[in-house]
A and B are shown apart, each in its own frame.
Chain A
């Protein structure tokens, strides 16, 4: 009896296996859910905008562009600092990584403060949720984003506590990178919201 020797199959070069997951799988499930949630809210925005174009063109004129711009700059800057925290951790510079994360936290905390000042300004100018369709959509979208940002800030605090306790190493910093991925995704969502209410008129 002769045995037939089959040549071993060469595994196909799988591109998917050569790519990495920024952070961990769990956070990307959460980010996908966050994206789906905001996609639904964006569809509502576009339906409202298509039905009431005049209200949306006039509405942006009444909001504080300064507030929208400040929040945008706070978001992109905190995102930048947290990306630097990941990059320095990857390079084995733990103390610098903690420093960048603290800077990211401090800048991120400016967002709820700026939002509070913006709402105060709005109310002083008689802009509330019942001021018209534009403002109803503006309030539900921006408040919803604020809620997600607050979760992100709580996440930064948790990751900072773990970082200070030596929870991350050059080999394993997935917790830090997961937080960074969530914060960057929340940043992208704000970058979408910003022109909706502060630029288009």
Chain B
């Protein structure tokens, strides 16, 4: 059975990446206010952050495939939905109207 190593260095790198990406996403919201492609950038940062937690903290790469797939699916859902809503929002609204 593969077991992850007790490596605080890689955990520290993951944490630093999360802090930097959080500040970066805040900055993108300010610098690119109103830009059409802002949701694309936000979605990319969101996906990277989720993946960093899944791989760095939960160690999804060593986990049972079902758990790894659940994590990957949940983390991918929102970035995809963000981009679709940003570019096809009106069609989605019509489709989702009761």
The A interface is mostly helix, strand or loop, or mixed, namely: helix
Given that A35-B70, A42-B78 are known contacts, is A22 also in contact with B58, CB under 8 Å in the complex? yes
Assess the A181–B58 pair: CB atoms within 8 A: yes
- Any B CB within 8 A of the CB of A113: no
State A32–B69 Cα separation when bound (angstroms). Answer: 11
Cβ proximity bits B1-32 to A, threshold 8 Å, 1 near / 0 not? 11110111001101100110011011011000
- Any B CB within 8 A of the CB of A156: no
Assess the A184–B57 pair: CB atoms within 8 A: yes
CB neighbors of A among B73-98 (8 A): 74-75, 77-78, 81-82, 85, 89-90, 92-93, 96-97
State A160–B13 Cα separation when bound (angstroms). Answer: 25
Assess the A28–B85 pair: CB atoms within 8 A: no
Most-contacted residue by chain B among A60, A187, A195 (CB, 10 A): A195
A200 CB contact (under 8 Å) in B39, B62, B71: B39
State A185–B67 Cα separation when bound (angstroms). Answer: 12
State A91–B97 Cα separation when bound (angstroms). Answer: 54
State A198–B29 Cα separation when bound (angstroms). Answer: 8
Assess the A19–B50 pair: CB atoms within 8 A: no
Given that A15-B65, A20-B63, A46-B81 are known contacts, is A199 also in contact with B42, CB under 8 Å in the complex? yes
B11 CB contact (under 8 Å) in A50, A80, A185, A188: A80
Of the four ranges (under 10, 10 to 19, 20 to 34, 35 or more), the interface on chain A belongs to 35 or more
Assess the A50–B58 pair: CB atoms within 8 A: no
**Beta-carbon nearest neighbor of B32 in chain A:** A201
State A148–B66 Cα separation when bound (angstroms). Answer: 23
Binding site for B on A (CB under 8 A): 15-22, 28, 31-32, 35, 39, 42-43, 46-47, 49-51, 53, 57, 60, 65, 69, 72-73, 76-77, 79-80, 83-84, 87-88, 90-91, 180-181, 184-185, 187-188, 191-192, 194-195, 198-201
Q: Would you mind naming 28 contact pairs between A and B with Cβ atoms under 8 Å apart?
A: A17-B1, A19-B1, A19-B62, A20-B62, A22-B62, A32-B70, A35-B70, A39-B74, A42-B77, A42-B78, A47-B96, A65-B29, A72-B22, A73-B19, A76-B15, A76-B53, A80-B12, A80-B15, A180-B57, A184-B57, A188-B54, A191-B50, A192-B46, A194-B25, A195-B29, A199-B26, A200-B29, A200-B38
